[in-house]
Amino acid sequence: MIKYIAFDADDTLWENEPYFRETEKRFVEMLAPNSAYDTTELKELLYDYIVENVPAYGYGTRSLMLSLVGFCNQYATCNVSEMIESTIKLGQEQLSKPVVLLPDVEKTLKSLSQNYELLLITKGDLKEQNRKIVESGLTPSFKHVRVLEEKDEASYLNFFQELGIEMSEVVMVGNSYKSDILPIEALGGHAIFIPYKSTWAFESAPKKDSKRIFERGSIAEVPILISSIQYDQKNVPHKL
């Protein structure tokens, strides 16, 4: 029986990804005239550079800033000190972006919280994620809020075991197939994939055919879908 609905935060409850792409775009445009590469080449090189740094730097704006500074140092053909200063400013701007809730988030959480316990599970930089969680004003909707370093099977299992939650009681809702959907399904939970208009290529993964994975176009469709999952679970014939 479903008792817990877990939500991803970035690009599921509020906008995030466009801020990263915008900062990267501005950075590449700033660097291109002072490098041996054009903006398209720099964009590709930067993607690889950032992904290579994920194991050491993790996720979030401050990690991005570190990668941009390192990248600048490696690819700029001019004196980099001024450029590094501008790069840090780009990151600081991104850190102070407002939290903009996605459509129907508030009413959906309100509706679901009448029948289920809601959990918020996000990953990344603790300070940055906590600032967004507080600013979102959504904290009262959630029974538990957790910022993980990584969203993989081991970290989810640790989280749910700590709370004494069985995976068969969980539905996870998120925009990252790799981080929100596949690990939860692998652990025995249900997952609802809600693609966002832009998703970091690093977070995409091949789709899996599973009776416990669903895809919907909007968070507003989640309550009715969960009711039908609940109905199907109740009506599964008992094994003899």
Footprint of Mg ion (CB under 5 A): 8, 10-11, 175-176
Nearer to Mg ion, 10 or 24 (CB): 10
Cα angle, residue 211 at apex, residues 205 and 217 outer, rounded to 5°: 60
Structure tokens that stand for 120 in this block: 């918020």
| Minimum separation from the CB atom of position 1 to Mg ion (A) | 27
| Minimum separation from the CB atom of position 156 to Mg ion (A) | 14
Q: How far is CA 39 from CA 26, 36, 43, 48, 53, in A?
A: 10, 10, 6, 14, 21
Closest-CA residue to 104 (of 6, 219, 5, 215): 219
| Minimum separation from the CB atom of position 169 to Mg ion (A) | 22
Question: Residue of minimal CB distance from Mg ion?
Answer: 10
| Minimum separation from the CB atom of position 10 to Mg ion (A) | 4
Nearer to Mg ion, 87 or 176 (CB): 176
Nearer to Mg ion, 10 or 125 (CB): 10
Nearer to Mg ion, 10 or 185 (CB): 10
At 73, which helix (H) or strand (E)?
Answer: helix 61-75
| Minimum separation from the CB atom of position 176 to Mg ion (A) | 5
Nearer to Mg ion, 13 or 83 (CB): 13
Distance CA 167, CA 151 (A): 15
Q: How far is CA 199 from CA 5, 93, 160, 230, in A?
A: 22, 21, 26, 29
